[in-house]
A and B are shown apart, each in its own frame.
Chain A
Amino acid sequence: MVPQMTGPTSAARYAGTRVHRVEDARLLTGYGTFVDDITRPGMLHACFVRSPFPRARIDGVHATEALALDGVHAVFTAADINPEVHELWYSIMGKDIPDTPRPLLAEGEARFVGDPVAIVVAGSRYVAEDAAELVEVDYEPLEPVVDYRSARDASELVHEGYEKNVAGRLRGGNKDLMAEVGPSAAHVVSETIHQQAYVACPMETRGIVAEWSGGEMTIWAGTQAPHEVRAVCSRVLGLPEHRIRVIMRDTGGGFGQKVAPLREDLCVMVAARKVPAALKWIEDRRENLMAAGQARHEHGTASMAFAEDGTILAANIVHTQDVGAYPTPWPVGTAAAVGMIFPGPYRVPQAAWATTSMFSNTAGRIAYRGPWQFETVARELLLDIAARRMDIDPVELRRRNFLAADDLPYAMATGMPLDHISPREVFEHALELLDHDAFREEQAAAREQGRYLGVGTSSYVEPTTSAMGAFGTEGATIRVEPTGKVNVYVAGGSTGNSLETTAVQLTADALGVAIEDVNTIQGDTAVTPFGLGTGGSRSGSMIAGAVGTTARTLRERIIAIAAHKLEAAVEDIELADGRATVRGTPTAGLSIAEIAHTAYFDAASLPPDIEPGLEASGRYRAEAMSIWANATHVCTCEVDVTTGMVTILRYIVSEDCGPMINPNVVEGQIDGGTVQGIGGALYEHLAYDEDGNPIAATFVDYLMPTIAEVPVIEHGHIETPGPGPGGYKGVGEGGAIGAPPAVINAVADALSPFGVTITDLPVTPASIVALLDEVRAS
């Protein structure tokens, strides 16, 4: 069911339909091209020597024995690699920020277990690994700063010059807000909520092949943003951009981890200029879980003041996040989003926030699907806790506070401008799909029999398709080839999110041709227009804009040629089904193939003012600063109060991402994000022991959901068109934002007869049993 909020959507032939993906045939048969599938003549292989200590002085690196091994070409250390860096900054943040340190190889001091200290180059990966074991490093272990929560008081510093291990702080609003509003409020609820570290963990680890030849650098990468790889390579090596070509075809998942080239990638780029052939580095899983960055590790004290009837009067969050040793990119600015979006989809007249980023001797913080999702975790957990304290159903408390259509546009008290959203509608739709009242009855009946069922909801608003800086535009080139077949070129960076299918669907519609007649070329910086790739839930809207802008020019040209040849007025030409016809006389017409033939092979018969050929490039500029999407997740579960086992019974996502370009792709994005969020709520934990050793560096210890654990996800769609092409909104990240609190709230609801309050993630069987033991004891 698709309730239509406003206006009809386009009568497009392909947009909105579940067309087969163009990526699938090759991926299903083993003919995809991932970075590890690339081989080059004489290709060499890299392996990193990594610190086994969370913090240690490096007194020397000895490579004699390693270099003596047959097949070893070189061992490079910080002294060889680091001085080659011209400048290092990322497009998302620009260069004018107080960036945190990021040496390519550890220099003088290793700062987390897994910190790369040297890079070994050999004829095969096997030999490179052997040689890495032979590199001797003189370490002098130092006292590490393991826990970011106590890092402020630690006697040691992760980085010189960052007092108390603070990487940065930001705040907004009246810092005395709760002290001022609290005393006169009927209820004030405040809890400190802790989230564990968990990570993107794409099934394909990181990898890169860099080939320096004849003054040109060619890079094959697993990446979400090939143009960003080129930009950063150009900055780091001081090479002009046009001497660098970055190519990617298939990338095995990214979820934020492959947005920005990280230290090892950059190290390979530098090392590639020092060796005689292409240099390949493919990360192994242990490295990926140890050194490819961490995310989500944070806590916050969330507070809300309520009037007697449950109306929210004010909200405040004091947030602290772990940024590890080498965060990428600069982590302080992104953390502000946690505070700024904390009011969420509710009427909150006053709000304030503060955020602190703390260094620790652990893997650096990097982007992960909805990097600011802690705002939703903290707010939605707090609302359930507050409802129970106020003795109202959490559903009812939310109903009293949701923004309604009449409230829009609405400026959050933090300044975020909301519009084109439907918080009430998605919420009620989700509850309808569940039949919330019936569930409450079922729950009551189950409790009679000693079974504990629970329901949890989580609602959020999410800024997608940011127009900030380099994200604000996207280009496309469309070529109608001489036979009338079409190629569309966009920046790409598809990592499973179906950007090829998306571009092909949109182009076929924009030109009125059959989808089989459109092909797309993406992920090669030599031939595609600049664009920042997959990130920030931007691709759908931005590709639609780029294709739309470019196709408009081509349509005009096609119509002008057709009008000229058919001796009709331009206004009378219709373009559909691969033909230009004259309105009213459908028999008079020309196929796109005939028009293309004229445009390329018979320029003499073109109208005099029309350029020959049928190729156009265009660049779209985002129309709004961001496009807001919103959703409600609803989870029901059963908790075994003896073993602490949680079984998810039903899972519903009702979302408003505007009209859908391809519902399969939309639902697939929601499903994937949701299951990552379920993993974060119940299973995944990138844990360190108290000495700073990672203890979840294999898939035996880092537990991602399998098909055995996941529920069937039910979908509800509400369509409020957003301010942009087609009304499309972003949908890539939302699932991962909404899921954790829905699951935790369901567990807390199941356990509500025991009076437990859950504030620590993940919720594991052991943590549930411990909570129950605690309340039983008191």
Chain B
Amino acid sequence: MADVEVEIRVNGQPRRASVEPRRTLADFLREQCGLTGTHLGCEHGVCGACTVLVDGDAVRSCLVFAVQAEGAEVTTIEGIGAPDELSPVQAAFRDHHGLQCGFCTPGFVVSVTAFLRDHPNPTDDEIRDGLSGNLCRCTGYQGILAAVRAAAAGAQATTG
């Protein structure tokens, strides 16, 4: 099948490319845009490592074709914070040892960012429910749970 022209805004920048219709959004971001922070842990929609925001919604980029994101606004992990300017969620993960190898981490940070926007004051059960679609093999989720609680509490404190 012939390649298709797409234009997608990625982290605020317009990106134009010609892609095979079967190319996933994840591969488009990693290979065409060089944004390798989006990771692939399963490529079948279960692990959540590839999570990005598409028009604000947390989406598994391994399950979406690049052409389906035509015209959309995509935010990847690289658009959430920078090494010398961590977002509150990223800082909470660092403070609470919410990551070890860091492979699942971009997916978690993106998912948590969207989750806390929608649930600013979550209970533990809501956190567990909301993040049960992201797998981590290193941390046993202990630091992640603590980080999400802390990020929520921090946001509550600043917004009063």
Q: Is there an interface contact between A29 and B140, defined as CB atoms closer than 8 Å?
A: no
Interface stretch of the complex, out of B1-9, B65-73, B97-105, B152-160: B97-105
Q: Considering the complex, which residues of chain A in the window 647-676 have a beta carbon less than 8 Å from any beta carbon of chain B? A: 664-665, 667-668, 671-676
Beyond A30-B38, A126-B20, A712-B145, is A665–B140 a contact (Cβ under 8 Å)?
Answer: no
**Known contacts A126-B20, A203-B41, A708-B132, A252 near B101 by CB under 8 Å:** yes
Contact between B141 and A25, CB atoms less than 8 A apart: no
Cβ of B47 within 8 Å of any chain A Cβ, yes or no, is: yes
Q: Is A722 engaged at the interface, CB distance under 8 Å to the other chain?
A: no
Bound-complex Cα distance A126 to B97 (A):
37
Complex partner residue of B93 from A28, A202, A253, A673, CB under 8 angstroms: A28
Say how far A261's CB is from chain B's closest CB, in angstroms.
Answer: 19
Given A668-B142, A672-B100, do A29 and B22 touch, yes or no (CB 8 Å)?
A: no
Q: A30-B106, A36-B36, A203-B103 are in contact. Are A706 and B135 (CB under 8 A)?
A: yes
Residues of chain B with a CB closer than 8 A to A27's CB: 99, 101-102, 105
Q: Which residues of B contact A31 (CB under 8 A)?
A: 37, 78, 83
B41 and A285: CB pair below 8 A?
Answer: yes
Question: Is A201 among interface residues, defined by CB-CB distance under 8 A?
Answer: yes
Q: Which residues of A (696-714) have their CB < 8 Å from a CB of B? A: 698-700, 704-708, 710, 712-713
Q: Which residue of A lies closest to B44 (CB)?
A: A698
Residues of A contacting B77 in the complex (Cβ-Cβ under 8 angstroms): 29-30
CB distance from B18 to the nearest CB of A (A): 14
Instruction: Say yes or no: B44 contacts A25, CB within 8 Å.
Output: no
Q: Is the Cβ of A29 less than 8 Å from the Cβ of B81? A: yes
Chain A 485-508, CB-CB to B under 8 Å as 1, else 0, gives 000000000011110000000000
Q: A672 vs B99: C-alpha distance in the bound complex, in angstroms? A: 10
Q: How far is the CA of A730 from the CA of B135 in the complex (A)?
A: 26
User: Are A36 and B40 CB-contacts (below 8 A) given A21-B94, A671-B139, A674-B140?
Assistant: yes
Q: B80-137: which residues lie under 8 A (CB-CB) from chain A?
A: 80-84, 86, 90, 93-95, 97, 99-106, 109, 127-129, 131-137
- Indicate if A517 sits at the interface (CB-CB under 8 A): no
Query: Contacts A28-B81, A29-B81, A665-B97; is A704 near B137 (CB within 8 Å)?
Result: yes
User: Residue on B with the closest CB to A24?
Assistant: B94
Interface string of A242-259 (1 = CB under 8 A from B): 000000001111010000
List which B17-60 residues lie within 8 A (CB) of chain A.
20, 22-23, 30, 35-44, 46-47, 49
Question: Chain B residues near A201 (CB, 8 Å)?
Answer: 137
CA distance A187 to B109 in the complex (A): 55
Q: Are B143 and A671 in contact (CB under 8 A)?
A: yes
A203 & B35 in contact (Cβ 8 Å cutoff): no
Interface extent on B, as a size class?
Answer: 35 or more
Chain A neighbourhood of B137, CB < 8 A: 200-203, 253, 255, 672, 676, 704
**Interface status of B74 (Cβ within 8 A of chain A):** no
Known contacts A29-B80, A29-B86, A204-B41: A668-B94 contact under CB 8 Å: no
Chain B residues with Cβ below 8 Å from A705 are: 140-141
The answer to whether A447 has its CB under 8 Å from any CB of chain B is no
Chain A residues near B144 (CB-CB < 8 A):
707
Interface string of A1-43 (1 = CB under 8 A from B): 0000000000000000010110111111111111011000000
Name the residue on A nearest B24 (C-beta).
A126
CB closest chain-A residue, reference B129: A708
Q: Are A30 and B142 in contact (CB under 8 A)?
A: no
Q: How far is the CA of A24 from the CA of B97 in the complex (A)?
A: 9
Q: What is the CA–CA distance of A28 and B78 in the complex, to the nearest angstrom?
A: 9
Considering the chains assembled together, what is the distance between the CA atoms of A36 and B95 in angstroms?
28
Check A30 against B35 for contact (C-beta < 8 Å). yes
Known A285-B44, A668-B142, A707-B127: A28·B135 in contact at CB below 8 Å: no
Instruction: State the CA gap A24–B94 with chains docked (Å).
Output: 6
Shortest beta-carbon distance, A322 to chain B, in Å?
23
**B76: CB under 8 A from chain A?**
yes
Chain B residues whose C-beta falls within 8 Å of the C-beta of A18 in the assembled complex:
97
A136 on interface, CB distance cutoff 8 Å: no
B46:A28 contact, CB within 8 angstroms: no
Give the interface size bracket for A toward B: 35 or more
- Min CB distance, B6 to chain A, in Å? 16
A296 to chain B, nearest CB (A): 15
Contacts known (A496-B101, A498-B100); A707 close to B37, Cβ less than 8 A: no
Decide if A495 touches B78 in the complex (CB within 8 Å): no
Name the residue among A21, A251, A497, A668 with the largest chain B CB count within 10 angstroms: A668
A32 to B38, CA, bound (A): 10
B99 touches A707 (CB 8 A): no
Q: Assess the A672–B39 pair: CB atoms within 8 A.
A: no
A interface majority secondary structure: loop
In the assembled complex, the CB of B102 is this many whole angstroms from the nearest CB of chain A, namely: 3
Q: Which residues of B contact A80 (CB under 8 A)?
A: none
A668 and B39: CB pair below 8 A? Answer: no
A180 interface contact, C-beta 8 A? no
Q: Is the CB of A24 within 8 A of B93?
A: yes
A668 near B78: Cβ-Cβ < 8 Å:
no
Residues of B within 8 A of A667 (CB): 97, 142
Q: Are A668 and B43 neighbours in the complex by a CB distance under 8 Å?
A: no
| Residue among B95, B100, B104, B143 with the highest chain A CB neighbour number at 10 A | B100
How long is the Cα–Cα vector from A135 to B44 in the complex, in angstroms? Answer: 24
Bound CA span A664–B81, Å: 23
Chain B residues near A252: list those with CB within 8 A: 39, 41, 101-104
User: Within 8 Å CB of A668, what residues of B?
Assistant: 97, 100, 138-140, 142-143
Q: B145, A204: Cβ atoms under 8 Å?
A: no
* B contact residues around A25 at 8 Å (CB): 83-84, 86, 94
Kindly state the separation between the CA atoms of A707 and B37 in the bound complex, as whole angstroms. Answer: 22
User: A707 with B90: in contact, given A29-B77, A252-B103, A675-B141 (CB under 8 Å)?
Assistant: no
A284 within 8 A of B: yes
Nearest-neighbour CB distance to chain A for B152, whole angstroms, equals 15
* A238→B150 CA distance, assembly (Å): 54
Measured CA separation A205–B43 after assembly (Å): 11
Residue in contact with B101 in the complex, picked from A203, A284, A665, CB distance below 8 Å: A203
How far in angstroms is the closest Cβ of chain B from A393? 29
The reply to whether A497 and B100 form a contact with Cβ atoms under 8 Å apart is: yes
Enumerate chain A residues within 8 angstroms of B135, measured Cβ to Cβ: 203, 699, 704, 706
Distance in Å: Cβ of A392 to nearest Cβ of chain B: 32
A704-743 vs B, CB cutoff 8 Å, 1 = contact: the mask equals: 1111101011000000000000000000000100000000
Partner of B105, one of A28, A284, A497, A708: A28
> Are A699 and B100 touching (Cβ within 8 A)?
no
User: Known contacts being A23-B102, A668-B139, A672-B140, is A29 close to B44, with CB within 8 Å?
Assistant: no
Closest B residue to A675 using CB positions: B140
CB-CB < 8 A to A204: which residues of B? 39, 41, 101, 103
Q: How far, in angstroms, from A664 to B146 measured CA to CA in the complex?
A: 12
How far, in Å, is B99 (CB) from chain A's closest CB?
6
CB-CB contacts below 8 Å: A674-691 with B: 674-676
Cα separation A104 to B78 with both chains bound (whole Å): 39
- In the bound complex, do residue B43 and residue A285 qualify as a contact, i.e. CB atoms below 8 Å apart? yes
Given contacts A25-B94, A30-B35, contact A671 B140 (CB under 8 A): yes
Cβ of B81 to closest chain A Cβ, rounded Å: 6
Smallest Cβ-Cβ distance to A25: which chain B residue: B83
| Cβ A251 vs Cβ B101 within 8 A | yes
Task: State A713–B142 Cα separation when bound (angstroms).
Answer: 7
**A674–B141 Cα gap in the complex (Å)?**
11
- Judge whether B76 and A30 touch: CB under 8 Å: yes
**CB nearest neighbor in A for B124:** A712
A-B contacts, 19 listed (Cβ < 8 Å): A25-B86, A29-B78, A29-B90, A31-B37, A37-B30, A126-B23, A203-B41, A204-B101, A252-B103, A285-B44, A668-B100, A671-B142, A676-B137, A676-B140, A700-B44, A706-B141, A707-B128, A707-B131, A713-B140
What 7 A-B pairs come out closest when comparing CB atoms?
A30-B37, A27-B102, A252-B103, A496-B101, A675-B140, A496-B100, A671-B140
Given A496-B138, A671-B139, 15 other A-B contacts at CB below 8 A? A24-B93, A25-B84, A28-B99, A28-B105, A29-B80, A31-B83, A126-B23, A203-B138, A204-B103, A250-B101, A252-B103, A497-B100, A668-B139, A708-B129, A710-B141
